[in-house]
Structure 1
Amino acid sequence: MIHIYLCEDNNRQLTRWKSVVEKYLLMNSTESQLYCTANSPDELLEIRKKSTVTGLYFLDIDLQSEKNGIELAQEIRKYDPRGYIVFVTTHSEMAVLTFQYKVEAMDFIVKDEIETLPDRICACIKNAEVKYKTQLDSSSRLLSVKVDKTSLILDQDDIVAITTCEDYHKIMIHTKHGVRQMSGSLKELIAVLNPAFCQCSRSAIVNMKHVVKYSREEALLTMDNKETYSVSIRMLGKIQRALKQL
């Protein structure tokens, strides 16, 4: 999951960027989301503070504000040190300042190049997704699943639980951002999930990192997205051992 942020003080430009990003997300199988469109640095930072998800930031440099885009990028780094930052600006001569301020920009797009700007924005999204996939893979957090004949990359830390469907050949992946249906079985997935996952019944696997409460009397797990899952007698010992390791 990558959250995409746009910050541009010119509404016409901001609308154009938004349209390009929305078209990319519609046409590609991705878990990335357009999370913020802002006119000012302070507006973006307030929204950023509420998220724990890695971000991809498209920032104008001249924001007609007390903070310019490079200073905004410095602030972003306090909350998202591994986020991906792209500057979109008419001030190409300011590219050198991105090194001086040590914000580690992923790319620098000149907005005057109108014909190539959409392709450059889309290329940055693709590049960020590839880098994010590599990061997840190196930390055993990557999960690649088949959805509608395409591969979808998920961060295992985002998954709250996986449950069976009424349709025997399908399962539901529950995340803090929603639910997605896919073909497969719990048996297939439990073999590739990281050790944070534990099967609590014949119909559910839960991510123990998302457990906020366990009721012994009811044999019930409460997750941080408010969902609850029953623990079967057969799985009780395994769940209790996993709880002790949290």
Structure 2
Amino acid sequence: MIHIYLCEDDERQLIRWKDIVDKYLLMNSTESNLYCSTSDPEELLSLRKKSSITGLYFLDIDLHAKLNGIELAQEIRKYDPRGYIVFVTTHSEMAILTFQYKVEAMDFIVKDMTNTLPDQICSCIRNAETNYKNQLNISNHFLSIKIDKSSLILDQNDIIAVTTGEDYHKIIIHTKTGVKQITGTLKELNSILNSAFLQCSRSAIVNLKHVIKYSREDALLIMDNKETYSVSFRMMGKVQKALNNIN
């Protein structure tokens, strides 16, 4: 989900921006929503501080307020370092300042180009949503595990299962290429694995993407690397439901 913020001191312009965004959200399948539409940069910042959702910000540069658009963007970066900032202004010559102030603007739209403004705003929303989804996929794709003073980076898609080790507080990660033993507990690792993983017993977590057969009669999961994992009685229903959902 992305929260969209608009900040423009010209009421007619603000209404137009809002209308463009509302039409986009109505006509497209999206989880984004218009969270703030204001002429007051302080109001925008106040709402930003209350939210933990990544934002897409359309900001006029000349706001006739205590903060101009670039200064507002600098403040936004303190609370939303990964947010998407777009400047919409008549002052095209100020584009260079966005680099000098290091606010990492996503785009710069000249509002005088009224005919192309709707397409440009909608394009920014689409690009922000695509980028946001890609970032989510990346964060759900790789797993970083601290080992002593170094880190082990694993592709979660390569993990077949995780099981308890023979030693206390040791777990074994079964991958396509072999096994790795690390210090930790199943509970700790389960909390950072993505939604493809499910704990099927007290001693094993499996990657459902690698399950090729579930024998409910034998309470057994057969994996694509020929390993098998027992399913506890209380997890049988959850395993079947999870497999149905992932398929």
Does the TM-score normalized on the shorter chain lie above 0.5?
Answer: yes
Higher RCO (Cα < 8 Å, 6 or more apart): 1
2:143 matched to 1:115? Answer: no
* Pair 1:198–1:52, CA change in 2 (3 A): farther
2:5 matched to 1:5? Answer: yes
Match of 1:50 in 2: 50
Q: Structure 1: which 5+ residue stretches go unaligned?
A: 142-192, 200-232, 239-246
Match of 2:17 in 1: 17
Q: Letter of the aligned partner of 1:74 in structure 2?
A: Q
Q: TM-score, normalised by structure 2?
A: 0.59
* Pairs within 5 Å for 1:93-242: 93-140=93-140, 194=194, 234=234
* Pairs within 5 Å for 1:70-89: 70-89=70-89
Q: Letter of the aligned partner of 1:64 in structure 2?
A: H
User: Shift in Å at residue 13 of structure 1?
Assistant: 0.5
Give the count of matched residue pairs: 155
Q: TM-score, normalised by structure 1?
A: 0.59
Q: Letter of the aligned partner of 2:124 in structure 1?
A: C
Distance in 1 separating the partners of 2:19 and 2:42: 23
1:124-168 Cα offsets, whole Å, 9 max, x none, are 000101110110010018xxxxxxxxxxxxxxxxxxxxxxxxxxx
User: Shift in Å at residue 65 of structure 1?
Assistant: 0.6
Distance in 2 separating the partners of 1:31 and 1:12: 27
Larger radius of gyration: 2
Aligned-residue CA RMSD in angstroms? Answer: 2.4
User: Shift in Å at residue 103 of structure 1?
Assistant: 0.2
User: Shift in Å at residue 234 of structure 1?
Assistant: 2.3
User: Shift in Å at residue 194 of structure 1?
Assistant: 1.6
Runs of 4+ aligned residues of structure 1 deviating over 4 Å after TM superposition are 195-199
1:15-60 Cα offsets, whole Å, 9 max, x none, are 0000000000000000011000011110100011110000000000
Distance in 1 separating the partners of 2:197 and 2:87: 39
